[in-house]
Amino acid sequence: MEKTIKIISSPYNPPIETVGSITIILSQPFSDSVVAVEVDPNILEHEPNSDQPGYLVRQKTFSVHTNDTKKLTFDFRENNVQEFTAQGEKYQMKLMHIGIEKIQGQGFKYVEFLVSW
């Protein structure tokens, strides 16, 4: 299977995506050319969208590493595709794009990956 995911680094969107049986969360570094993600961290707390009409509410997510957590760093030169095994399945992640998305008049970085499993 294949899925394109977009993770936005803004206070209004949780920096989390679920693909297959894994959870992916943004990590540091995150710049115009390099991005890191954590695969399968332990999510301790996640406050889902509690927006009201006309208002966006800041999202909160807290996570910790476990023995199964993988930290992957991507760039467009040498590390734009990485393969790994998580929860008994083989995955491939390809960095597709790093850009800026406007939300309420402000620009927030986002990243797109193509994930295959």
The per-residue pLDDT for range 3-14, each reduced to its tens digit, is: 999 999 988 778
How many C-alpha atoms does 44 have within 13 Å on its Cβ side? 5
Confidence of residue 28 (pLDDT cuts 50, 70, 90): very high
Residue 12's closest CA among 63, 52, 72, 71?
Answer: 52
Region label for 20, one of left (φ > 0), alpha (ψ between -120 and 50) or beta (otherwise): left
Which class in CATH covers the domain with range 2-116?
mainly beta
Domains of the chain by residue range: 2-116
Q: What is the pLDDT of residue 57?
A: 53
- Looking at per-residue pLDDT, the higher value among 114 and 56 belongs to 114
pLDDT tier at 41, thresholds 50, 70, 90: confident
In this prediction, residue 77 has a pLDDT band, given cuts at 50, 70 and 90, of very high
This prediction has a pTM of 0.81
